[in-house]
Amino acid sequence: MLEIEKVSVAGMEWDGALLWVAVSGACLVATYDPATKKAEQRLVYPHAVWDLCPHEDDLWMMTEGGPLGRQVVLWSLDRGAELGQFNCPDGAGAGMVLYDGKLWITHRHNRKLFCLDPRNGKVKWVIRTENETFSPTAHGNELWLIESDPGPLGHWGAAGQGRYFFSRYDPARERIVERHPVPFIPHCMAFDGARFWYTERGKKGFCSTKRKIKT
């Protein structure tokens, strides 16, 4: 059994019953069952896995690789084989999710949200975001992501100057419609409709909190 509390989680997504996690350092994917509190290794990939999104019998993964260092891979869980892959546009590699039949990929520092056709990886449109965004996740008809406001001096500012939020984004209106400030520096996040699952930067394992976050 995988000791999930002892590994560094790079990405996560909720499938309705299990929490899927990407462990980049070990190039593996695992699932965690909150009911039993047990984690199970599901696959090992040749390259680091940075984010993931299960869909029916397949698994979308953002992995190391490609000319700009990030690629999207479609994996068959039934067959245990790769079905296809394509490069992340513009080197975007801050997380991905399947939402409304499309792949959404964040480019954190360039403040861009890419919408891709999952059949061929072609960019359908690009949205500029107000703040830095990463680790997108979806639940039902809601698209969530981590939002970072690094402050007036950006990443050259003093430590602790930045602000972080778990935010709900409306692609149709191209704007944030709900924000939950968090009192820590998050690394990745998933949402199950009632709770946020997340990891903190520099820490192993993960935590969860109800939708209304106490600061």
> Can you give the CATH number for the domain in which 49 is found?
2.130.10.10
Query: Mean pLDDT throughout 50-65?
Result: 97
- Which has the closest alpha carbon to 166: 177, 182, 155? 182
**H-state helical runs in 20-147:** none
**175, β-bridge pairs:** 170
For residues 135 and 116, give the distance between their C-alpha atoms in angstroms, rounded to a whole number: 16
Give the single-character DSSP code of 2.
B
Residue 41 lies in a domain: yes
Structure confidence at residue 158 (pLDDT): 55
What mean pLDDT value characterizes the chain? 93
Helix (H/G/I), strand (E/B), else coil: 113: strand
Residue 215 lies in a domain: no
Q: Is the pLDDT of residue 157 over 60?
A: no
- 171-188 confidence digits (pLDDT tens): 999 999 999 999 999 999
User: How many domains is the chain partitioned into structurally?
Assistant: 1
Q: Is the pLDDT of residue 214 over 80?
A: no
For residues 42 and 21, give the distance between their C-alpha atoms in angstroms, rounded to a whole number: 10
Sequence-separated (6 or more) residues with CB below 8 Å from residue 154? none
Are 16 and 201 contacting, i.e. CB atoms less than 8 angstroms apart? no
Judged by average pLDDT, the poorest of 16-30, 148-162, 190-204 is 148-162
Exposure of 145 in the CB half-sphere (CA atoms within 13 A): 32
Residue 47 lies in a domain: yes
Give the residue with greater pLDDT, 78 vs 158: 78
Residue 44 CA to its chain's centroid (Å):
18
Are 20 and 31 contacting, i.e. CB atoms less than 8 angstroms apart? yes
Rg (CA), the chain: 16
Structure confidence at residue 213 (pLDDT): 59
Helix (H/G/I), strand (E/B), else coil: 108: coil
Q: How confident is the model at residue 150 (pLDDT cuts 50, 70, 90)?
A: confident
Helix (H/G/I), strand (E/B), else coil: 107: strand
Residue 24 lies in a domain: yes
- 71-104 confidence digits (pLDDT tens): 999 999 999 999 999 999 998 999 999 999 999 9
Q: What is the reported pTM?
A: 0.93
**73, β-bridge pairs:** 61, 85
Give the single-character DSSP code of 62.
E
Q: How confident is the model at residue 66 (pLDDT cuts 50, 70, 90)?
A: confident
Range(s) of the domain holding residue 113: 4-210
Residue 127 lies in a domain: yes
Residue 36 lies in a domain: yes
Structure confidence at residue 71 (pLDDT): 96
